Amino acid sequence: MSTLDLSPGVREYLLALADDEHIIGARHTSWIGSGPFLEEDLAFCSIAQDELGHAIALYELLTDDIDALGLLRDPAEYRCCELVELPCREWDEALVRHVLYDHAEGLRWQALADSSIPEIVGVAKRARREEEFHVAHADGVLRRVLFAGGDAHDRVVAATVRLLPVAATMWTSVDGETEALATGVATSSSADLAERWWTEVKVLYEASGVVLDRPAAASGAGRTQRSGHFADLHAEIRLVIDLDPNARW
């Protein structure tokens, strides 16, 4: 795929999704070999691979050197949200983030499915198909854990209450969104998507008897500032390339 001639605003808009996909993929892969049971371990890491694949597909639209863009940028130049930067080292949190993120991701790709740029439509089409399975998987595991009751239920509900305010960071509008909407690159605003996302999440939990309070819109610097969790992860994903930044594979 060749790099597209995109305006700075549209690049920024696409970069936000690309970085979210990259960082959530990297975070999910930390579960390789330590998932709750073998099948779930494999499925979760295969989903992580899909997310990394989506990131690569978007980076390829933005640059000819995806290593430099994906791995070697200064932390301040990343545009991921705080939700994907969290370590989520307990399975309850990892599962809840998977649910909250993938519902949002499906909607974000949908907003690109009728893009005015055909290359973006192509990438969005592939990603949306995979997202259907990711959401089915996330919902399936969540429902069963909530249905199981007891400690599993309580831990997942508690993790949801903790993560919902952080999940709101996904919907912080990025610089460039106005431009992306005006030029038809994207067809729904973050505010519209956030509404639809909340309805999906609310209905999903209510079907399992859990009533959630809607999180307030995220405040703060949004996607231009990294959380305290980013530095360690960034060092980790650069581990190999820093050995020899000029190596070609």
Partner 1 sequence: MHTYEVFLKKDGKEGFRHAGALDAPDWEMALLLARECYCRRGEGDEMWLVDRADLVVAPIELLEPNGDRPHRTSDGSVVAERRKQQRQVGGGK
**Does 140 contact partner 1 by CB under 8 A?**
yes
Nearer residue to partner 1 within complex by CB, 156 or 166: 156
**Does 69 contact partner 1 by CB under 8 A?**
no
**Does 47 contact partner 1 by CB under 8 A?**
yes
**Does 247 contact partner 1 by CB under 8 A?**
no
**Does 204 contact partner 1 by CB under 8 A?**
no
Spatial neighbors of 57 by CB under 8 A, at least 6 apart, are: 1, 123, 126, 127
User: Is there a contact between 172 and 193 (Cβ–Cβ < 8 Å)?
Assistant: no
DSSP character at residue 63: -
Residues 156-195 that bind partner 1 (CB under 8 A): none
- The number of residues in the chain equals 249
CB of 203 to partner 1, least distance (A): 18
| Block residue for tokens 């290359």 | 119
**Does 249 contact partner 1 by CB under 8 A?**
no
Residue 165 corresponds to which tokens in the numbers above? 């305010």
How many residues bind partner 1, per CB under 8 A?
A: 14
CB of 28 to partner 1, least distance (A): 12
Distance CA 22, CA 11 (A): 16
Distance CA 125, CA 120 (A): 8
Distance CA 125, CA 103 (A): 16
Nearer residue to partner 1 within complex by CB, 94 or 164: 94
Ramachandran category for residue 59: left, alpha or beta (phi over 0 → left; psi -120 to 50 → alpha): alpha
Nearer residue to partner 1 within complex by CB, 11 or 98: 98
> What would the x/- binding string for partner 1 be over residues 95 to 134, using CB under 8 A?
--------------------------------------x-
CA 197 from chain centre, in angstroms, equals 13
**Does 53 contact partner 1 by CB under 8 A?**
no
The site for partner 1 (CB under 8 A) is made up of 37-40, 42-43, 46-47, 133, 136-137, 140-141, 144
